[in-house]
Structures are given as structure tokens and as C-alpha cells.
């Protein structure tokens, strides 16, 4: 069967070279006679996988000394709870910037555990642009400021790192590893794996050491950053297969030229697709141009009654998972690292032909 171009927002495409290597190693990892799925997480074989994965991630992101890297279960949504439980007390205050669905969910969960202040909310614009930091109502005593650099559903992205006095906490599920990043600007970065890292179910947290050891006494041990760090992310049995695949993705990224090369490719892909949308009266993107995402590109058709036909014909052309999120409708093309330029060009060619026959 010929592989398709998968534009899913997540679980998303994984590089073919990674899938092929995992296939080749599936039943016998490097001559040990077992699959990675069968290896003891405390055995020397899996420990070597885990250690290399962390080393390669540190190399890719140039993570400074003084930061711990955790490989955790539960995806990014579990971190909506883990962040306040680890960084603040129940009477403390934290700032939240709301720019779409995922930052709204982080705020709602934060409110269960502390005094969550909405420093900024772009709801007035329909979450189609990033609010000007000059107008943010931040707190002088905030334990942290949380924001979502890229809103996967709405296709809104920060193209800057906020300057705030509180430790900066970022849900980078959709952008981590898509370009270089100055990790030193952050107190905590977390990301679900199912975009640019690997299979769903794994989350990565990069935590500045001075923020560790503050967890409330009621924090579940599996969500306590300090406890997990001291246990090498293995207080409980970790998601070993997802960790292994993530490690293969890190190796692939290094072999492909690192994050500088990913930035070049991702910028080109985004420019190609936005160019096609902006050059047409048949398609439209709702996001303000300075706030457009490189990773998730929503677009609408001039005649919404054609949505079903567009998706049906796109699928027949080998272009899958283009349906927009149910909360916003329309279309959405997610073009993470594993999506090649050829996939974007195939989509643009299809869009051009669909407009010619239905416009």
C-alpha cells in the first residue's frame, strides 16, 4: 500500500525513516532477542535507549546545565495539573495568557489548584491574534506565567518569547523541535509527544532545577517533578515504546541537520501553503498574519457546502486528515517536521484544481 500525506494535528505523521527502523527492530532490538516493548525499563538495554534519547534531546535544544529533562506519561494535558501542583501553593497566584482552546483548558485546570489570573485573553478577536504584551495585566507576585506558544486548533502562534518577571511556563506541544529555541528563557517547558516527537501518551518536561522540590505534599508522586527526576523518569514503569520512538526521532533530526534545518523546511512549507491561500478568493485563513502558525494552518472554502466534497476528493488524492477541528470547522493542514515539502505542494496542487472545477 502506498503511503499517504497525513495532515493530522495529532497523533501526527512520524518520519518514514523512523518507522522503517522501528519495523526492522520490532521483534529483535540490536540482537537481544526481544522487542523494545519487552525490555525491562531498568535493564541495561533500555537504560541505554533512555540515556541516548535524553542526550540527543539536550544536544538538539542546546539545553543548559541546571535543567532536568523528564519523560512522563499522560500527555500534555496531565501537565495542566502538574504545573500548579509543582510550582505553587493553593493560595498562590499564577498568570495565564489565553489565546485559544488549549490555553483555556490549562487555565480551567489551573483554577482548580490556585488563584489563576487571566493576564490576557484574545477572545475579543475570536482568538485570531496574539494580544499585545504591552496590555497584559500580569501580577507582581505570580508564581509563574503560563502560555501556549502555538494553538493547534486555531492556528495562532507566538513568534516571540514573552518578557515577564515570573518564571515562564510554556505548553510547546505543537512547536517543540520545529526550530531552535532558547531554553534558558523558560522556567518550564512541556510538550505532548504526538506532534513532532513521537507516539501519543508521552510528555516531555524540561524543568529548571530551582523550580524543583516545591511540590505540594498532596501531589501524586508520579506527577512530582523532583521525585520523577530523582528516579530518572522511572518512578513507575515509563512508556518505554514511546520513549524509544522519540529517541529515534531525535536521531533522525540530528541526521537531517538539526533544528536549524527544520526551521528552514518548516518556514518554506508554511510560506508555500499560506501563499496559495492568500493568492485565492476561494480559500481564506482567519488568523492575523503576524500571528499565523507554521505548524497548523486552518483554512475555509468560500462555499462551506463544498467542504464534504473537498475532503472526499482530497482523501482520494492521498491527502488525509484535513478536516478542521469540530469546534471551528473548515479545514486544517498540520505540517509538522515529518511532513515533506512534497506533501504541501501536493495539497496546493489539489486546492488549485479543486478551485478550478468548483470555483
Active site residues: 102, 171, 195
Instruction: Establish whether the linkage from the previous residue to 11 is cis, with ω within 30° of 0.
Output: yes
User: What is d(CA 357, CA 337) in angstroms, rounded to the nearest whole number?
Assistant: 31
72 contacts: CB under 8 Å, gap ≥ 6: 78, 79, 202, 203, 204, 205, 228, 233, 238
Cell, residue 106: 490549562
17 contacts: CB under 8 Å, gap ≥ 6: 252
| Pairing of the two strands 202-208 and 188-192 | antiparallel
User: What is d(CA 36, CA 48) in angstroms, rounded to the nearest whole number?
Assistant: 12
Residue 238 exposed, middle or buried by CB count within 10 Å (0-12, 13-18, 19+): buried
Chain centre to alpha carbon of residue 91: 30
User: What is d(CA 10, CA 3) in angstroms, rounded to the nearest whole number?
Assistant: 17
95 contacts: CB under 8 Å, gap ≥ 6: 116, 117, 118, 119, 136, 138, 139, 142, 144, 145, 146, 164, 166
Amino acid at each position: 500500500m502506498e503511503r499517504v500525506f497525513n495532515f493530522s494535528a495529532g497523533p501526527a505523521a512520524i518520519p518514514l525513516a523512523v518507522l522503517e527502523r522501528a519495523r526492522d527492530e520490532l521483534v529483535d532490538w540490536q540482537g537481544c532477542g526481544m522487542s523494545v516493548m519487552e525490555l525491562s525499563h531498568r535493564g541495561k538495554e533500555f537504560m541505554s535507549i533512555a540515556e541516548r534519547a535524553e542526550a540527543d534531546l539536550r544536544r538538539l535544544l542546546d539545553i543548559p546545565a541546571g535543567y532536568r529533562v523528564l519523560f512522563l506519561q499522560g500527555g500534555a494535558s496531565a501537565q495542566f495539573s502538574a504545573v500548579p501542583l509543582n510550582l505553587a501553593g493553593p493560595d498562590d497566584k499564577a498568570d495565564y495568557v489565553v489565546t485559544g482552546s488549549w490555553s483555556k483548558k490549562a487555565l480551567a485546570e489551573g483554577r482548580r489548584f490556585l488563584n489563576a489570573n487571566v493576564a490576557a485573553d484574545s477572545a475579543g478577536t475570536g482568538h485570531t491574534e496574539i494580544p499585545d504584551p504591552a496590555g497584559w495585566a500580569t501580577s507582581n507576585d505570580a508564581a509563574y506565567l503560563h502560555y501556549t506558544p502555538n494553538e493547534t486548533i486555531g492556528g495562532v502562534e507566538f513568534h516571540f518569547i514573552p518578557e515577564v518577571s515570573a518564571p515562564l511556563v510554556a505548553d510547546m506541544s505543537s512547536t517543540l523541535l520545529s526550530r531552535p529555541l532558547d531554553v534558558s528563557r523558560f522556567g518550564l517547558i512541556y510538550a505532548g509527544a504526538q506532534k513532532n516527537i513521537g507516539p501519543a501518551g508521552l510528555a516531555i518536561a524540561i524543568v529548571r532545577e530551582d523550580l524543583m522540590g516545591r511540590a505540594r505534599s498532596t501531589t501524586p508522586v508520579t506527577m512530582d517533578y523532583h521525585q520523577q527526576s530523582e528516579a530518572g523518569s522511572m518512578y513507575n514503569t515509563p512508556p518505554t515504546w514511546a520513549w524509544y520512538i522519540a529517541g529515534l526521532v531525535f536521531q533522525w533530526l540530528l541526521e537531517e541537520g538539526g533544528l536549524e534545518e527544520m526551521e528552514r523546511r518548516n518556514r518554506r512549507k508554511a510560506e508555500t501553503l499560506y501563499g496559495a491561500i492568500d493568492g485565492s478568493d476561494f480559500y481564506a485563513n482567519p488568523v492575523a498574519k503576524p500571528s499565523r502558525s507554521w505548524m497548523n494552518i486552518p483554512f475555509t472554502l468560500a462555499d462551506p457546502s463544498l467542504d464534504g466534497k473537498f475532503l472526499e476528493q482530497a482523501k482520494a488524492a492521498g491527502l488525509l486528515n484535513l478536516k478542521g477541528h469540530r469546534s471551528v470547522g473548515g479545514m486544517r493542514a498540520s505540517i509538522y517536521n515529518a511532513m515533506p515539502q512534497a506533501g504541501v505542494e501536493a495539497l496546493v496542487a489539489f486546492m488549485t484544481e479543486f478551485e478550478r472545477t468548483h470555483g
